[in-house]
Structure 1
Amino acid sequence: MLDTISLGRRPGSMRTVERVVTAPARIGLELIAIEEGAEIELDLRLEAVSEGVLVTGSLRADTAGECSRCLEPFSDSVDLALTELFAYPDSATEETTEEGEVYHVEDDKIDLEPFIIDAVGLALPFRPLCSDDCQGLCSECGVRLAIAESGHGHDILDPRWAGLAAKFGVDSGPSKNLVNTEAEEK
């Protein structure tokens, strides 16, 4: 919560706030988030405008996640530019917007927590990667391709030929004639 009493309601009055807060709970998405207890650095400017308090500034915090391709844990950080209007009670902005579309100044205080949760949730990647060139996992055996030997691959018996191979007593193991080569061509 930020107190806006010292800011006043005269449009144009401004003050800056630099604060390090602790995340009260995990903030983010399923695969990547700011962990509970992590420090969040806020560098904000609060400016009184006719409709409320305009909050601009930046947020920085460390994140922890799991790569969506290789499932390995990794850490990163999130740096956001913030801009949001917190409407005064009975202002034209509050009267012309639907419930939940705008944040509010209540009792001369601003609750930044819901705003930060929304901003971080929108900024974090839905499918985070440990690196841009992550190769993921082998679709056949599940080994991480980053640690697999060079040329890692599998000969896979095309299931369309398996019954015919069994009928004629052909070895059901992989054979160059019965191997699906469509995947290799792509």
Structure 2
Amino acid sequence: MRAYSRRIAAPTGPARLGLETIAVPDSAPIELDLRMESVTEGVYVSGTVHAPLSGECARCLDAVTDVVDVELSELFAYPDSVTDETTDADEVPRVVDELVDLEQTVRDAVVLALPLAPLCRDDCAGLCPGCGEKWADLAPDHGHETLDPRWAALKERLSAD
């Protein structure tokens, strides 16, 4: 068993870690604390990934910053092991030339841990659909009267009387 602590830069551009609304910022530090253990069928990698996040609130579009802490656990199969021979190439990662490539494992763990709709706070009310202003900044009696155009003639007739 060996323990490793590494700090790597997040990928940039189209290879970035994240979604449209929230992601690990380009070149941000990602901290890996890992244990690699030799087991009968391969190398078992376990540990944690810690990375900063930035994005925008899904309701009010304000900037959101957060962190993601995610647990990793993955078996990398040895060549010619039973696991290697009985699984498809895309089911289990492999040890190649006595090395394990953690990029896809880290990417999958981080992206799956991200919120699909990040919020600046749990009670965020979002934006007013009429004027686009934040509900939090508007007066409590704020509203927009919308009248169905089919009733406009009736309103004019009733208001004239």
Q: Which moved more, 1:42-51 or 1:142-151?
A: 142-151
Structure 1 residue aligned with 2:57: 67
Give the match's secondary structure for 1:111: coil
Structure 2 residue aligned with 1:127: 117
Q: Structure 1 residue 24 and structure 2 residue 11: aligned?
A: yes
1:163/1:101 CA distance change after superposition, 3 Å: farther
Counterpart amino acid of 2:102? L
The 5 A counterparts of 1:1-186 are 14-25=1-12, 26-165=16-155, 168=157, 170=159
Q: Which runs of 5+ in 1 are unaligned?
A: 1-13, 172-186
1:99/1:152 CA distance change after superposition, 3 Å: farther
**Larger proportion of helix:** 2
- Taking every aligned residue pair, what percent have the same amino acid on both sides? 54
Q: Which runs of 5+ in 2 are unaligned?
A: none
Structure whose alpha-carbon radius of gyration is higher: 1
Counterpart amino acid of 1:115? T
Where has structure 1 moved over 6 Å in runs of 4 or more?
none
Counterparts of 2:64 and 2:74 in 1: how far apart (Å)? Answer: 31
Counterpart amino acid of 1:19? R
Counterparts of 2:137 and 2:84 in 1: how far apart (Å)? Answer: 56
Counterpart amino acid of 1:120? V
Q: Deviations over 1:16-62 (max 9, x none)?
A: 00111111222011111111100001110101111111111111010
1:46/1:163 CA distance change after superposition, 3 Å: farther
* TM-score, normalisation: structure 1: 0.78
Counterpart amino acid of 1:158? D
Counterparts of 1:17 and 1:42 in 2: how far apart (Å)? Answer: 8
Corresponding pairs, count: 157
How far 1:163 moved relative to its partner? 4.8
Counterparts of 1:107 and 1:113 in 2: how far apart (Å)? Answer: 16
Give the match's secondary structure for 1:157: coil
Counterpart amino acid of 1:18? S
* TM-score, normalisation: structure 2: 0.89
The Cα RMSD (Å) is 1.7
Counterparts of 1:23 and 1:56 in 2: how far apart (Å)? Answer: 20
